[in-house]
Amino acid sequence: MPALRNPVHESMCRDVAGGMSREAAWRAAGFGSRNSTRFFKRPEIAARVTELQEEFAEGSRISLAYLQERMLSYAQGDVTDYLEPRPYTDGKLRVRNLKELPPELRARIARVTIDKNGTINFEIYDKVKALETLIRSIGPTRLEVTGRDGGPINLSDPANLARLDEEELQMLQHVVLKIESHAAAEPAEAGEAE
């Protein structure tokens, strides 16, 4: 649909499509408080507002690829990228000048605070959360591995493993490693709590 012939009407439609209330758009155009509801219910006006809202939504849509790229960048964050050796000291570190960091490193910073002593404190985005978000965006959020008729897989039976393709074997190996790493971490955590 082309722009409305009346530029005031077009402007009001754009204002409403951009998020302004109908009443505010009506008043901004110089009209009194009456008749805004009736005006925006007119078929050509309602259709134009809807069309503009769809255009605005399409233009501001963030692509999945962009979000995945951001999450991958956060997951690759390394705090040592933000530190440098102090001159004339034995390996003591200081925070690099944040203004001089490349844009991709600045984008990984979640928060910067300066305490009452003037010390700069900063946090980079959580790598684990970034990885979880990235994984959810590219695959199923739940992996369920079962054997025949929904029962457990008998991993000691070579016939069961022989039926798996290469990708399934790699996935199974990944799951086993994850379970082993969690099992190894649990006793240490239990010992710390005592």
Q: Are 47 and 1 contacting, i.e. CB atoms less than 8 angstroms apart? A: yes
Task: Report the chain's mean pLDDT, rounded to a whole number.
Answer: 78
pTM: predicted TM-score of the whole model, two decimal places: 0.39
Task: Give the pLDDT of residue 46.
Answer: 93
Where the chain has pLDDT below 50, the residues are: 141, 143, 189-194
Task: Give the pLDDT of residue 155.
Answer: 59
How is residue 189 written in tokens? Answer: 């955590």
Per-domain residue ranges for the chain? 7-60, 78-124, 143-193
- Find all residues with CB under 8 Å of 71, minimum gap 6, and list them: 130, 131, 133, 134, 137
H helices of 61-157, where? 64-75, 103-106, 127-138
Task: Give the pLDDT of residue 146.
Answer: 63
